[in-house]
A and B are shown apart, each in its own frame.
Chain A
């Protein structure tokens, strides 16, 4: 029965209509070009750079507080 089922499932198919490709391409012709996703490695570099810049800002802020309180 399982073999028969496999056979039937294998035969269960639908043929695309003759004009399917044409219809799809007509829709695609109306669409803008796909946009390339930025490279993953560049995304990581940007993230690390932004994190370092943020950390530097934090250090500068803490140093400012320390300098102001030390001057009093």
Chain B
């Protein structure tokens, strides 16, 4: 209800209310982009562009059609897929995966987690764009299967199957990373 009020006020020109919307969604959006396998500078650009496009097209958002988060993540997903597409066409870009500081000294558990995360990021980069996209959406808090299906343009059953398959592929890639 508060969000809908903020959207209404933003449409009336209250940019401060839109700042509240940005504040509310910036963290989940950055996490989503990280799970898409994008590094920090790229995530920052895409997140910025997502909010700018959301502002420009706010008048077209229809609460009767979808939740605001679904609409916002659809914009972010499309931008992320375009970026991944561009990155695939730049061969050197595949080498710019964020390198977690595995060699940093520190407690064992922290180091293990850091290594696991590094392996996960590498494994994610081995997935197809479609798999990355649906998997990243599956881990967005409060995102239902129906909403994921809507964003991905498929049925709920197809979304469930695709998530399951993407997880299986990621598991295999992780096992390969583990050697």
Residue positions of A touching B, CB distance < 8 A: 1-2, 5, 8-17, 20-21, 23-25, 27-29, 31, 33-37, 40
Contacts and interface: CB of A to CB of B under 8 A. Distances in A.
Given A2-B171, A34-B59, A36-B11, A12 B34 contact: yes
15 contacts: A5-B120, A5-B171, A8-B117, A12-B34, A13-B31, A13-B35, A20-B44, A20-B47, A24-B47, A24-B51, A24-B52, A28-B51, A33-B11, A33-B13, A34-B59
A50 B33 CA distance: 45
B139 A14 contact: no
Interface residues of B, number: 42
Contacts, number: 94
Contact of A14 (B40, B55, B62): B40
**Interface of B, helix, strand, loop or mixed by DSSP:** helix
Nearest to B141: A10
B113 interface: yes
Given A10-B139, A11-B113, A16-B44, 15 more contacts: A1-B175, A2-B167, A5-B167, A8-B117, A8-B120, A9-B35, A12-B117, A14-B43, A16-B29, A20-B47, A21-B22, A24-B51, A31-B52, A33-B11, A37-B62
